[in-house]
């Protein structure tokens, strides 16, 4: 009868060995990295907002410098109360087709714009409502 040699290796020990050997991150490693990224993003947002952004001419831009692409598209759509077509939005913003379609999809999904007809969009709120 053959005899067993030594202790058998547990599955957990084998997994830990491979993770260590091949530098595979653990769940705790990922959580630590996410926490660091959150801290860095928070610091960047506070630094940019506190310092204020300046235009190339040296004038302070304030909150307008922090507009996102979605804000730009929403602003263009809300300027046209009767509705605006996809092509016109693309011309006014200068965004590519794929980027613009994604932005319009997100704005529609969040309820900020409505589809009047196919390819024609109108804002749900007026531009004056957004300023206050």
Say how many CA atoms lie within 13 Å of 31 toward its Cβ.
3
Domain-by-domain residue ranges, the chain? 11-51, 67-131
Question: What average pLDDT does this structure show over 16-32?
Answer: 90
- State yes or no: pLDDT of 55 exceeds 50: no
The two structure tokens encoding residue 78:
């809300």
CB of 127 closer than 8 Å to CB of 77: no
- CATH class given for the domain over 67-131: mainly alpha
pLDDT tens for 87-117 read 999 999 888 899 999 999 999 998 899 998 8
Per-residue pLDDT band for 18 (boundaries 50, 70, 90) equals very high
CA 55 to CA 62: how far, in whole Å? 10
Average pLDDT, the chain: 80
DSSP state of 8: P
> pTM of the predicted model, to two decimals?
0.46
């Amino acid at each position: 009868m053959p005899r067993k040699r030594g202790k058998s290796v547990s599955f957990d020990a084998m997994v830990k060995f491979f993770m260590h050997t091949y530098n595979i991150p653990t769940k705790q490693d990922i959580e630590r990295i996410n926490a660091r990224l959150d801290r860095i993003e928070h610091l960047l947002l506070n630094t940019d907002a506190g310092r204020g952004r300046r235009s190339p001419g040296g004038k302070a831009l304030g909150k307008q410098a922090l507009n996102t692409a979605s804000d730009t598209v929403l602003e263009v759509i809300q300027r046209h109360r009767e509705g605006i077509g996809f092509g016109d939005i693309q011309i006014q913003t200068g965004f590519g087709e794929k980027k613009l379609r994604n932005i319009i999809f997100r704005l529609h999904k969040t309820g900020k714009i409505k589809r009047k007809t196919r390819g024609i969009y109108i804002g749900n709120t007026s531009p004056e409502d957004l300023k206050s």
